[in-house]
A and B are shown apart, each in its own frame.
Chain A
Amino acid sequence: MHTPPDHATTQARLHAALWSPQTPQGLGEAQALDRRFAVYRNNVQHGLSRALAARFPVIERLVGPDFFAATARVFAAQHPPQTPVLLDWGDSFPDFLATFPPAQSLPYLPDVARLEWLRGEAYHAADAARADPSALATVDPARLRLTLAPSVRAYAAQHPAVSLWHQNQPGARPAPLPKGPQYALIARTPGFAVTVDPLARDQHTILTNLLSGQPFARAATTDPTPLLALLIRHQLIAQIGETP
């Protein structure tokens, strides 16, 4: 007598078949079962590939849609999402690109992918209060402590990824790329746009110090005026306080 498999076994068979060319056992009789099951295989692989492309649009633009889809298929099989919240999926994609053999001729890809990942984090970061910058004038500079908005990220790249990213935005024109490392502030503005503002190296150091919780006087290892102007312009200071 036929004993049906338990549901966990059925699921395991289907799951295995999503990532192999074999059609699973146990399906009801029908014509062209392989083509029917292939709809699910395609939905899973294509759906994950498009989700990754939505998160890394400049990577897709730089490598082209076919290369991107093939890369995404390998990434999804090796690093599938671990929760149904796809906006949290892809944090390991930059490191994957750094070691993915077919992508080795484009060494700047991991840096661009890291930039895009941070942009996504900034887009979804928690909302925060906005401090009135006039309070800066009334606080003792030696005791000043700034709390930045949760969307603020300090970005550093070995390659000119900030320029590459800007040049691959809609309407942007290609230009000669500078050499060497690049730095940026990535954050969400009050109008919900995510901004990528180039920073000088010393300003990136100050931003990193501030994000690690250092008091302002210690964080500002050089003149912090350019960074402060940017933080005020985008309303990214959540709180202006004093250390005890």
Chain B
Amino acid sequence: MISSPDFRLPAAPGLSFKPEHFAQAVQAKTALFFEVHAENYMGAGGAPHAMLERLHAEHALSIHGVGLSIGGAGPLDPDHLKRLRGLLDRHQPESFSEHLAWSSHGADWLNDLLPLPYTDETLTTICAHIDQAQTALGRRLLLENPATYVTFADSTWPEADFLREIAHRTGCGLLLDVNNVFVSATNHRTDPRAYLAAFPLELVGEIHLAGHEAEALPDGPLLIDSHSRPVADPVWTLYAEVLARTGPLPSLVEWDNDVPGFDTLLAEAARAETLLTEARHAHAA
């Protein structure tokens, strides 16, 4: 696991925080951390900030940005960097992370994590954006691998190598979303284990796990990273294989659509904890 004062999440399970689970989340006795999307907490005051402060008094907090558009060709939005800095200063989370994706075009915000070709040009642009963001935010960030449904004819870098090079050039850490690895590999008819074999696991500061939906294409499944279901069995298997190589890591179960009761989320966290305990024992031995 990457070591830095900017990445202080515990090597324990974590859950997406939903306001409807506030009372149970605050009282949860299990070792847990919680993650929120930065942009949902950019109002001036009121319940969102009050809940986050109370939650953070009990549990470690990860703030996960979906708005920087690091993978875009244009410059980062300086106003959004200021909002992010204000949020991070206000809540002092144990980790901040963002995505290898773009989500704005000109002034328009598109509300999705859109894909990009992996080329020397985009590598240079992304590294400049991450340098700018880390300077403006006064901390290092974790960059997450995307779930993708298309590739680009002009890509010249494999994704795992591209992420490794970004991390080496900028000093950022990586957020390894195991569900995204499985979704992308399935969609592009490639081997998720080959991807993980090439992935720089020593730079990982957090794991993401989530559920996906499936559609059928003529040549096989099209998986959609929906965050609307329990984590799928093959994703749990890949996760256990990663932990066998890394030892325990902060491991978030994301669930953002069709959100179930808190007990269902706790059951997913317990499943992650079982695998984390095995990894702890294996690495202590």
Give the top 7 A-B pairs by smallest Cβ distance, nearest first: A84-B67, A124-B43, A28-B151, A127-B45, A4-B154, A192-B47, A126-B44
A117 to nearest B CB, angstroms?
14
Could you jot down 7 A-B contacts, CB within 8 Å? A4-B119, A7-B117, A7-B121, A35-B217, A36-B222, A124-B46, A127-B49
Q: Give the residues in chain B near A48, CB-CB below 8 Å.
A: 111
Contacts known (A18-B110, A30-B150, A35-B222); A10 close to B43, Cβ less than 8 A: no
Cα of A36 to Cα of B220 in the assembled complex, Å: 12
Partner of A192, one of B46, B111, B154: B46
Interface residue count on the B side (C-beta < 8 Å): 55
- Total A-B residue pairs with C-beta atoms closer than 8 Å? 150
A85 touches B42 (CB 8 A): yes
Binary A-proximity of B155-184 (CB < 8 A = 1, otherwise 0): 100000000000000000000000000000
Question: With an 8 A cutoff between CB atoms, is A218 at the interface?
Answer: no
Q: Which residue in chain A gives the minimum CB-CB distance to B74? A: A8
A86 touches B112 (CB 8 A): no
Interface residues of B in 113-129 (CB under 8 A from A): 114-117, 119, 121-122, 125
Cα of A12 to Cα of B116 in the assembled complex, Å: 12
Which stretch, A37-45, A93-101, A155-163, touches the partner chain B?
A: A37-45
Question: With an 8 A cutoff between CB atoms, is B197 at the interface?
Answer: no
A27 touches B152 (CB 8 A): yes
Question: With an 8 A cutoff between CB atoms, is B285 at the interface?
Answer: no
Question: With an 8 A cutoff between CB atoms, is A11 at the interface?
Answer: yes
B46 touches A11 (CB 8 A): no
Question: With an 8 A cutoff between CB atoms, is A178 at the interface?
Answer: no
Cα of A165 to Cα of B80 in the assembled complex, Å: 34
Binary A-proximity of B136-163 (CB < 8 A = 1, otherwise 0): 0000000000000111111100000000
A92 to nearest B CB, angstroms?
14
Cα of A150 to Cα of B46 in the assembled complex, Å: 11
Question: With an 8 A cutoff between CB atoms, is A33 at the interface?
Answer: yes
Cα of A29 to Cα of B46 in the assembled complex, Å: 49
B155 to nearest A CB, angstroms?
7
